Structure formats: structure tokens, C-alpha cells
Amino acid sequence: MDDGRPARRKTQDERLLSGPAERAAFRETDTWRVLRIMGEFVEGFEELAGLGPAVTIFGSARVGRDDPAYATAVEVGRLLGEAGFGIITGGGPGIMEAGNRGAREAGATSVGLNIELPFEQHANPYVDVEVDFRYFFVRKTMLVKYAQAFVIFPGGFGTMDELFEALTLIQTGKIRDFPIVLFGSDYWRGLLDWVRSAMISEGKASEADLNLLSLTDSPTEARDTILAATREHYEGAAHERESRAATREALRKSLEPGN
């Protein structure tokens, strides 16, 4: 029956998570999919390895360009871009587009990590570096691996998934010194209250876990929170690079004739 909606197609994630098919062609087997997954990781690593400091901005794809949240996300992306960060998003519309637009306005690198969906999603027009993924878990790895912080605007299930995955990685020590800024106190306050009243009160989480999050309604505060949290890391990395360069130079001079 034709209900007017575009035809739904199976994504590669859906095919992967389906049960094994009997007598499937090799290109439809899990063995073949492992090779495709490896290829996605390799492509992502190659495209993003030289990115430099970056912040991932998350939020709803359903936010229109006339929504105040869109303009605010543009400003956050612009401020972070002017502070020296590239901007990474999921590459789609809404808050993702706004973050990429802010990066473009600041002259910063604007990255969109697009995902295959049952209905076509194309990268927004403000993406400079586009990488397309079939598998959510590969894409999510890139969203974390090449970012030094998250700014999370109001969103739906996908945004919550990315928020709690990042929190889990921090809580378990898989990533460190990784600020997560929740933007929009009215939206997030109910969730934080529930964490306190349910998780923390029953001993399933601790107040220290909640302290992993920063809540703000100010674009400048979001930028400053990230700068403060990452400054020590980058100053330490810069000092280490300088020390290595000095060691190499001293070694070079010691090997010169006459020394």
C-alpha cells in the first residue's frame, strides 16, 4: 500500500544485526561485513588523522533554521572555531548544520560524519570534510576519537545515546580530561534531577559522576569551559613536543664532525 512516504530500504547496520541468512552470498555474510567495517575505520582514520583540536557538537536534526537553538548553535560553533577548534558533527540538518555553519563562519575546519539511514540523509552545505559511514558504531568511534570535548544541545534518542556513551567512557577511564557541556538548562534539568533522585539516591551512580557534566545557556561559557578543561592538556603536549625537538637537535649536533 502506498502511503506517500519514500520506500524504506535496509541499512547496513540493519543487515549486520539481523540473524544469519541461510546460504547467503559471500557479499552478504558477516565475514564480508567485517572487511567493510575495517574499510570504514581505515577511511575515517585517514581522513581525520590530521584534524587537530576539535569539538563535537550534538543535537536534534529536527531543529529548523528559524529556531533560536539553531542560531545559538551557530554561535557556539563560531566561538569554538575562533578559539582554534575544528567542529565535528553528524553532518546532517538541524543543530548539526548549525554547528558546521558556525565553523565555516570562523574559518575553522568543518567536519560532517554522515550516516546511512533508511531514508536518505545528505551532508549539510556547511561541511568541508565529509566522511560517510554505514555503521553507527564506527561513526561514533570517530565522533569521540577526534574530539577533545562535546557540546550537546537538546535532542532525541540519538543525542542521548551519544551523551551516555561518552559518560560511560569517561567513568570507566577509557577517555580522560574530556569535558561534556550540556547546552540548554531547561531541557536538561529534568534529566539531571532524575539522575540525582533515582540513580544517585539508590547508589547506582555517584555525585562525582554527575560532576562530569557542565550545564550552561551561554555560548561564551561553553567555549570557556572547554578552553579551561583542555588548556592544560595542550600546554603539556606542546611542552612535550618542544622537549622532543630539543633532544633531537642536541643529538644531531653531537653527531656532527668535530663533536
Flag whether pLDDT at 173 surpasses 70.
Answer: yes
Picking from 104, 92, 94, 87, the residue whose alpha carbon sits closest to that of residue 223 is 87
Flag whether pLDDT at 127 surpasses 60.
Answer: yes
Q: What is the CATH number of domain 39-241?
A: 3.40.50.450
Q: How many residues does the chain have?
A: 259
Q: What is the pLDDT of residues 51-60, one digit of tens each?
A: 999 999 999 9
For the segment 143-150, the average pLDDT, to the nearest whole number, is 96
Residue-level pLDDT at 116: 81
Q: What is the pLDDT of residues 206-255, one digit of tens each?
A: 988 888 999 999 999 999 999 999 886 655 444 444 554 555 555 566 66
Domain ranges of the chain: 39-241
For the segment 19-35, the average pLDDT, to the nearest whole number, is 68
Map 67-123 to HEC letters.
CHHHHHHHHHHHHHHHCCCEEEECCCCCHHHHHHHHHHHHCCCEEEEEECCCCCCCC
For the segment 164-185, the average pLDDT, to the nearest whole number, is 92
91: confidence class by pLDDT, cuts 50, 70, 90:
very high
Q: What are the distances in angstroms from CA 213 to CA 76, 81, 148, 149, 218?
A: 17, 22, 14, 11, 15
- pTM for the model stands at 0.79
Range picked from 72-76, 117-121, 133-137 for highest mean pLDDT: 72-76
Average pLDDT of the chain, as a whole number: 86
List of residues 6+ apart from 92 with CB closer than 8 A: 61, 112, 114, 115, 121, 123, 124
For the segment 176-204, the average pLDDT, to the nearest whole number, is 95
For the segment 28-40, the average pLDDT, to the nearest whole number, is 86
